Structure 1
């Protein structure tokens, strides 16, 4: 099989998501994350800091997409996903090496390591990374599932609050809430242009809790994989001025009701393994940990010599 790598463009996303859904249907989730993670990682994580095609690369054979690399996530990390037919092959190793080298070349020279992560069950990827000199250094995320067939309690809101879908004109307020939830530095213009106006995003799937004064108090973006019957949350946040009032719970319950009405059977959410508040919220909603992801790292200076 002859493979070539090319820059990703916005027009590729629908085909890429359909391809991912088919890979998951064929091989299971172990080597792949939800299709909703694709626009989240490509647009919200990279945030337009560089042209998207310079950091996101597609691998193709003569007729189809067989791999994806997202480079420079969080300034020093990459993701690589390969078609089931290429798992464990020299082609997958080639994709990993290329992403390692691309990320190392683009990142801040002061950063000592290139990072990546994988599911705890993905022994195939572990073996390939070790060939390139990567070592495990942490448990990164907890991966949680919930059966949407289980009862869903009704959201309980403080007086004067309401839950609704986002609107494009909410961009300024959504940027503020993200900044107060995650200590980020979005502007409304940037959130509108780099997330809301990008392919894959639908304001109907960003559920918000609006405070009586009009501020966005909490939000949850949900994604849909119809082929596999699975929904996914990414991201979920609550403005620090409104925490511990049940608002994150309320927006997630509304989103899960909508996912159930679409006929989805399962919903997933990931969180940093050290985030005890997120763990408590998701556990209270019936989510159960099914996997962990492990962080792997290799020295920047070794890139190109793996």
Structure 2
């Protein structure tokens, strides 16, 4: 049995507040990635009244060997009422910032982009002051689907690259390192006002130079925000942890990322893609971007950008 080092210990949450959030989720029939993916920060985030909502789930069409989301269940048809229930949860929780993610839905022609669009619009209507971050899959490289999501004008588009190029076939066999980079590049080209974000997990044999290369690749596509956290094995059937990275190494990667020009680098053993995501609001105040008429801009650039 692998013993976690002291720096990976998580403080016990105040379960009264956690229970309140769970009650809202159960009442509205919603899923969170916090629960489905066994996130170690669930107590802290629920205690703070935040959650990363998981739409179109919880059954995933991919079987990534590091992820605890169920891929054995059969994906269900989209729920037309889900966007409104999600918006109601955001309203009840009085969220300033919300993160909406999904399982991979490779069974859908647009990978679920239309459902993301509906959710964004529903949240805007119910909570106009809430900033919206979407954490999306790679959509199998369907760039029309990406444009559908961007037309709804989320403030942040997050897509996790997850690991280094060398490990992609081992860690993300149905994904593509190049495709994930291209998604972030196309987002920048189509919607320059959107803050782009991605995440990397470590502890699967990466070298310091390989992590730095990922960071350079991400800056080459003008990615704004990067999260780096320790991979933890959800169960014995998942990929094993090769090494536990010490906190000082995360500090070094943060400093290197900032030197490359990332607007924000969040790096620590317990960092996850949506951990303290609400801090992006202060980042947006420090680095404001003019959004203008988002829909018309996307339509115009769709016709101009070709690859």
* TM-score after normalising by structure 1: 0.32
Report which of the two structures shows the higher radius of gyration computed on alpha carbons: 1
Name whichever structure is richer in helix by fraction: 2
Name whichever structure is richer in strand by fraction: 1
* TM-score after normalising by structure 2: 0.32
